[in-house]
Structure 1
């Protein structure tokens, strides 16, 4: 319960920070990514004690996410990898997808479902195209939406409290 309260406070603080433009968008996206790892479970846990978070071809988010390297989520240590091709994603449990990859989105979604990867992106229409969590900008505030069907197909269990915080949930 304390985790949920902390997460809600972080999200509320995020809204204030985003509106005040204190943090960069990439830093906010990185903070969300970290929190997503704490509220999503894999039906079939990976065989490693690490939680591998990959960034697909986005240097700005890659730089912003560095502070979470080595932190813990659900008892697993977060490791980070920068990848520039979807074929390098096999070891990923979480993958941030650069918004410039719409041509590859169908392949990304298929691969993520077959490998049990939580996909996150700021690409417009991401969850409508099979992604799991998509960032959406409302004014100066970054929020998120969730494709629950894609999550289930990938073997992911999304905490109901995270679903409540989403601005839209596809079922």
Structure 2
């Protein structure tokens, strides 16, 4: 229980420090929050054996340039999974390869389904930010609830990609699809 409380406090501190109210007109704060979420998500997910080593942890970003800039700032001083981080900008509709995490911005929602399908059998953590993206195949979807950024998780999509999501992350999710009661 204290580990769950610790994660909740960590996320709360990140949100408080960044001004978590998305409606406040602070776009920079929103991107900082989302970048922090992405780092936290990655730290609470286990990839299958063989997807590690000294190679960079690669994050692909589609139609979220400001978020990519925040991630580049974070990656300069903070490795992920004890690996250096590489940020790749991808075109909407591209077939991503060699990624550990794929983030699809809201403007790319129309082409998201094809991109999600293209990595469906790969150990890629997919993160989106549009309504209904869990049903399109995303593992984690960011959404705005009561003017705050929250996230929902699809366990079936994570399992299909051989990703193991920590119970601590599941406990602080707004909604978890496929969780046993």
Q: TM-score scaled to structure 2, two decimals? A: 0.83
- The corresponding residue for 2:35 is 30
Q: Name the structure where strand makes up a greater proportion of residues.
A: 1
Change in 2 beyond 3 A, CA 1:89/1:2: farther
- The corresponding residue for 1:13 is 13
Contiguous gaps of at least 5 residues in structure 1: none
Superposition pairs of residues 135-150 of structure 1, within 5 angstroms: 135-150=142-157
CA distance in 1, matches of 2:3, 2:153: 20
- The corresponding residue for 1:39 is 44
Contiguous gaps of at least 5 residues in structure 2: none
Q: Show CA shifts across 1:14-71 (max 9, x none).
A: 4433149576211111110011110011124425522111111211211222222242
Measured on the aligned residues, the alpha-carbon RMSD in Å equals 2.4
What SS does the corresponding residue of 2:113 show, helix, strand or coil?
helix
Between 100-109 and 24-33, report the one with greater CA deviation.
100-109
1:56 aligned residue (38, 57, 62): 62
Contact 2:152 2:174 in 1 (8 A): yes
What SS does the corresponding residue of 2:121 show, helix, strand or coil?
helix
What SS does the corresponding residue of 1:61 show, helix, strand or coil?
helix
Contact 1:134 1:146 in 2 (8 A): yes
Number of equivalenced pairs: 171
CA distance in 2, matches of 1:109, 1:40: 18
Q: TM-score scaled to structure 1, two decimals? A: 0.87
Change in 2 beyond 3 A, CA 1:102/1:19: closer
What SS does the corresponding residue of 2:89 show, helix, strand or coil?
strand
CA distance in 2, matches of 1:48, 1:111: 24
Establish whether residue 66 from structure 1 lines up as the match of residue 68 from structure 2: no
Contact 2:61 2:102 in 1 (8 A): yes
After TM superposition, give the deviation of residue 87 of structure 1 in Å: 3.2
Establish whether residue 105 from structure 1 lines up as the match of residue 108 from structure 2: no
- The corresponding residue for 1:156 is 163
